[in-house]
Each structure stands twice: as structure tokens, then as C-alpha cells.
Chain A
Amino acid sequence: MTPRQRRWLFAIAAAGLVACYLWAFAGLPGFGHYPGPYGPEILKHAIAQTNATGVVSAINFDYRGFDTVGEEFILFTAAAGMSVVLRKLRGEREGRGEREGRAKSPYDRARNRDLPPTSDAVRMPTLALVGPVVLIGWWLAAHAQANPSGGFQGGVILATAFMLVYLSGEFLAFRRLSPVALLDCAEALGAGAFVAVGLAAVAQGLPYLDNFLPLGQVPGAVSSSGTIALISFFVGIEVAAAFTLIIGELLEQTLLVRAGGR
């Protein structure tokens, strides 16, 4: 089938698909006229039941906490899957390196890289920003109950802080700051602690992931909302470790390319 025929076939099929979509959208109650009972019900009772003024975080970590456990494990599995997929080929790469007479680790190869040193204009801002970025990421992950933030956003920002260290040209510092074993432990700790919080509720005879910690006095304060803040903190650790692992795996791959051969 030639590309032209493929495009015409796609155009016909896409027209049918878009027609079905538009027919389905015509049955929706129009933009801005949300009728459903679920949203207003939760809005009525969320603050009273969880003492969290950030209702979206309350839904994510309390009302629909089970969905969040599943989504945590999607991220966990993706990081683990990447390690498996890319590690298998790394064995072949090391072999070829021996044939060339240089069976070195990626760290030795990193030192032999013939790249120009990073300019000071890049190094200074990136290194100066690492501290504030870590602080902001941590703050966002720890304040899910009042801010429009939470474990996910804070975790990704924490992972970007590690990337800033790499961008400033200090790959060896990056690897020393975030060795793979430590990241694996951190990721497992984050995911496992989330599950453990749920099981702690079961141990007290409550349903899984029930909000059993004291809810605090002031809605939206740091110490309020029970398990929501705790779970958000652990989710932040797990997401940061997962993203740093993913980026670290790809970085190792690029280093192997630069050492010699494809």
C-alpha cells in the first residue's frame, strides 16, 4: 500500500471517527453546565470531613486514594521497566568496549569525554538554583492540603533539581549525589510507605486507606487533614526518585554512545 493510499484510507476512517466523536459530544450538557451530583456533594462535605481546604488533594489522597495507589505503581513500573529494557543492552555494550581494549565503567568514560567545559554563565545560575528548587519542590510536596500542589508536582520539581546539577556539567557529582541504589531505595520507600499507611488503617479495623490520623484544628493548616499530608509527602519522594531514575538511565545510555561506537 503506497503512502498516498494510506493517507486516503486514514482520512476516510478519521472522518468517521470524528463524526462519532461529535455525535457523542452533542449529548454532553454543554460547556459550563456541569450537572453531575458527585462534584457538588464532595464540595459540600470535603472540608468538614477532612479539614483540608485543597479539595482536589483531598480527593486524590483520601476519597479516591486507591486510584492514586494504582497510579503510583504505574510510575514505579515504568521506572523499573526502563531499567530492565535498557540494562539488557548495556551488557552487550560493555562487551564491545572490551573488544576495543577499553573495558571501563561509565564513570571512567565520563572523565575521558572530549567535550568543551561548561561555561561559567551556565554553571553559576544552575548551581545557584539547585538549593531553591529543592526547597520549592519540598514545600510543594508537603503542602497538599491547602495549596494547589501535592506530591506529584513537588516530586517532579525535586527531580529537576538533580537535572540542574547535571546541566552544570558536573555529571560525576550528579551520579555521586544520586547513586542508583539510593534512588531505588527511595522509590521503594515512597511507594511502600503509601501502601503501609493504608494498611495501618486496616490494622485498626478501618477500611483500607481510611483517614485515621487526627484531623487538626484549623482547616488547611500544615498539621491538619490527617493522612493526606503524610501520603503527599511519600508520593513526593517516590515521584522524585522515579523521575531521577528515568533520567539517569537515559543519561547512562548517552554516555555509552560517546565512549565509542553505537
Chain B
Amino acid sequence: MTGNAVMDVLQVTVLVLVAAGATVVVRTRERVRLVLVLSAYGLLLAILFFTFQAPDVALSELTVGAVALPLILLLAIAKVRKRPE
């Protein structure tokens, strides 16, 4: 029974962190900082999926949400940046 209790505590902790992370992401306004916070949020989600016994989805979220998506976002931000003319 202790195994289940440990798993419960772990899941609740990471769920609270994910909820806090989502709040931080939507409250960040600057673009580059937003991308970095999104990458950290992707990492938190991957940890959450590990605690939900889903390593497949965790690996997918890690590669897509913490690496590929911030890359794409940074390139788009570089494109629309206001340049000193």
C-alpha cells in the first residue's frame, strides 16, 4: 500500500506544478521569455506523463513540446521582431 501512497503524493505534486506552470505561461508577456517558460512547461508535462505510467507520451511531449515547438516559435519571433531601421 505504501507504493500506491508514494505514487499518489508524486502525482499530486507534479499536478500542482503543472497547474502553476500553466498560470505562469499565460501570464508571461515578453516573447522570448514566453518561449523559455513554454519549454519548461513541456518538461513539467513530460514528468507528469512519466508519473502517469506513459513513457511513450512523455518522450513525445519532451521532443515536441520542449524542443521542436520552442525552436519553431523562436524562428517566428525572429521573423516578426521590430528591427531598428
Contacts and interface: CB of A to CB of B under 8 A. Distances in A.
A254 B79 contact: yes
Given A149-B56, A157-B63, A250 B76 contact: yes
B36 interface: no
A247 B71 contact: yes
A206 to B, nearest CB: 27
Interface in B58-85: 59-60, 63-64, 67-68, 71-72, 75-76, 78-79, 81, 83
Contacts of B72: 246-247, 250
A246 B59 CA distance: 21
A243 B72 CA distance: 9
B59 A257 contact: no
A33 interface: no
Given A246-B72, A250-B76, A257-B78, A156 B56 contact: no
A42 B49 CA distance: 21
A160 B75 contact: no
Contact of A243 (B68, B78, B79): B68
Contacts of A153: 56, 59-60, 63
Interface string B30-66: 0000000000000000000000000110011001100
A262 B83 contact: yes
A148 B56 contact: yes
Contacts of B78: 254, 257
Contacts of A157: 63
A148 B63 CA distance: 13
A56 interface: yes
Interface of B: 55-56, 59-60, 63-64, 67-68, 71-72, 75-76, 78-79, 81, 83
Interface of A: 54, 56-57, 140, 148-150, 152-153, 156-157, 159-160, 163, 243, 246-247, 250-251, 253-254, 257, 262
5 contacts: A148-B56, A156-B67, A163-B71, A257-B81, A257-B83
Given A246-B72, A250-B79, 6 more contacts: A140-B59, A159-B68, A160-B71, A243-B68, A247-B72, A247-B75
